[in-house]
Chains A and B, each alone.
Chain A
Amino acid sequence: MVQFTGIKEIIKPENLVYKKTNIMTKNILSYCPGCGHGTAHRILAEIIDEEGLQSEAIGVSPVGCSVFMYYYLDIDWQEAAHGRAPAVATAIKRLLPEKFVFTYQGDGDLAAIGTAETIHACNRGENILIIFINNGIYGMTGGQMAPTTLPGMKSSTSPYGRDVKTMGNPIKMADIIASLPGSYYVTRQSVHTPANVKKTKKAIRKAVQYQKLNKGTCLVEILSNCPSGWKMTPVQSNKWMEENMFPYYPLGDLKTPKE
């Protein structure tokens, strides 16, 4: 085992095991400790870097925890109104068809206020990539119930647990989108273990490559924990996600291209 004697030893190039990707900026992430957003950002940045897409990429960020995503990835960005990212991305891609256009949206943004924009962009088969972070709660505004909140799950607007009789059932947006002829590739992944990070990266890379084919909308849903909103430690929240979120939102491909 290597014995490190100090910082000078640690920062030697030959001891480097992990580094910032070129596409990530030096800005400090605003996310809570243990949250999945940072990992999802990193994966996307790595793929943009590895696929040489920096000059092609135009990102559209939502309203929600990732509203400041444009601070973190060194590419051209547009910040959309709450829920409207797929409409914004539609126009970008129509006017600049050669570019790589993606949205990054949370479950409040994509599955509540932006349901119409999401469904119709997918139904038109817009050649964009939608990255959908589903943590079953409104994180930024302080842990309110989302359309994706599980039955019985407590939030600040369902303090006694989500009662499906009065508050409706959690909506499975990826399943709905997979049923539309306009969607091309729909998958649900997570980033809570190294193995799942690898799978998610593989899925996003596929989606990026599919987008070049101009055959329809790609959607990668990423189930994520929300330690602050769920009022758990990061470790507890990942365990809770496995035990409660995965049975309702099973991981895996929902629609793959017929090859």
Chain B
Amino acid sequence: MEKELRLMKGNEAVAEAAIRAGVDGYFGYPITPQSEIIEYLMDANPAETTGMVVLQAESEIAAINMVYGGAACGKKVMTTSSSPGISLKQEGISYIAGAELPCLIVNVVRGGPGLGTIQPAQSDYFQATKGGGHGDYHLIVLAPASVQEMADFVELSFDLAFKYRNPVMMLSDGAIGQMMEKVYLSPHKERAKTVPEWATTGKPTTRQRNIITSLDLDPNRQELFNRKLLAKYDEIREKEVRFEEFQCEDAEYLLVAYGTSARVCQKSVQLAREQGIKAGLLRPITLFPFPTKRINELAGKVKGMLSVEMSAGQMVEDVLLSVSGKVPVYHFGRMGGIVTTPEEVVESLKSKFIGG
């Protein structure tokens, strides 16, 4: 079947893609700049077509625990929010990771800390990629840089979530969530008729009871479980790294940027080259797993790297670890909800590496 072309906001694209991907349940709570997702779903009323459950919870905390309950039934379930709301969800996300449940959490990031601003930012990188809640765990983190990717990553997220029994976070931002672009939507997929064997759906006589929990008071068994998680994360690091390169072949200076910043940096690469500076861009698509190996390889070919983020400098720490001291690495970014301009990035590149 052919893909359908539409002009949509990133937030709307997530909602429509969820219906088309055969998602079983959405549980959310309104927060700017992502409320269009639940509004779109309520308006589309997929209960009447695909049977998808859409529920406005009493809080972000309730919403993520609904995701826990639905995921534990083996269903494709998701929630969406923005930074302050994602903070509230962290307890539940930790339990979901601890119970090894698949789900999708979308964070349309806004500036912080605290109530911050409703404008776009990339200041939740640490929270998304380093765990976020308590305990040793990782989410798989996908960073869309377009409305198209906000749509496409819904299905990809569920594929990865079920493959690894691990929660997936789509780390977007207020710019991609709010901007309108053309998007090719996948044809409708039917909701799954079967659930994985570990799902709690009522115990038939043919199997043992299924128990979904993240609790084990025996330290030896708990450590074994921690090791199992580590092995899973290692496998994810091995197999699921995704990134995109832009004019890296002959680059002397590498920009590393994801999401909205990567869109800006494409233009910066062009502007820099017009001024005779051979710049290139590496755009991580997965933030966990991070493209460590590739960045380390490129560190042997370039004179320096600039991590461009709408934050005080978070991803730059992963770039530094990847580069492992081979070349200088700097950070450039605007904060408070300000989107970096391409010119600013070029100026920063020049001042840090070339002088003047």
Contacts and interface: CB of A to CB of B under 8 A. Distances in A.
Interface of A: 54-58, 60, 67-68, 70, 74-81, 84, 87-92, 94-96, 99-100, 116-117, 120
B202 A117 contact: no
A84 B77 contact: no
A43 to B, nearest CB: 19
Given A76-B200, A79-B99, A91-B66, 15 more contacts: A74-B209, A75-B202, A76-B201, A76-B202, A76-B211, A84-B61, A84-B65, A84-B92, A87-B61, A87-B66, A89-B69, A90-B55, A91-B67, A96-B202, A117-B58
27 contacts: A57-B202, A57-B203, A58-B202, A67-B215, A70-B209, A75-B202, A76-B202, A79-B99, A79-B215, A80-B65, A80-B69, A80-B95, A87-B57, A87-B62, A87-B65, A87-B66, A88-B65, A88-B72, A91-B27, A91-B55, A91-B65, A92-B70, A92-B72, A95-B75, A99-B202, A117-B58, A117-B61
Contacts of A54: 202-203, 205
A56 B25 contact: no
Contacts of A81: 65, 68, 91-92, 95
Interface residues of B, number: 38
Contacts of B160: none
B211 A77 contact: yes
A120 B200 contact: no
A55 B25 contact: no
Which 7 A-B residue pairs are closest in the complex by CB-CB distance? A88-B69, A79-B213, A91-B69, A91-B66, A76-B200, A87-B65, A120-B58
Nearest to A88: B69
A78 B95 CA distance: 11
Contact of B201 (A74, A91, A96): A96
B210 interface: yes
B214 A88 contact: no
A78 B92 contact: no
A100 B53 CA distance: 18
Given A84-B92, A91-B66, A120-B58, A78 B213 contact: yes
Nearest to B59: A116
B204 interface: yes
A116 B58 contact: yes
A78 B204 CA distance: 16
Question: Which residue of B61, B70, B73 has the most chain A CB atoms within 10 A of its CB atom?
Answer: B73
A55 B203 CA distance: 4
A96 B210 CA distance: 16
Contacts of B53: 91, 94-95
Given A88-B66, A95-B75, A77 B200 contact: yes
A71 to B, nearest CB: 9
B212 interface: yes
Interface string B275-291: 00000000000000000
Contacts of A91: 25, 27, 53, 55, 65-70, 73, 77
A56 B204 CA distance: 8
A94 B25 contact: yes
Contacts of A57: 202-203
Interface string B41-80: 0000000000001010111011101111110110101000
B24 interface: yes
Contacts of B203: 54-55, 57, 74-76
A54 B54 CA distance: 28
A116 B62 CA distance: 8
B70 to A, nearest CB: 4
Contact of A70 (B69, B99, B213): B213
A95 B24 contact: yes
A91 B59 CA distance: 14
A68 B211 CA distance: 11
Contact of B211 (A70, A80, A92): A70
A77 B68 CA distance: 12
Contacts of A88: 65-66, 68-69, 72
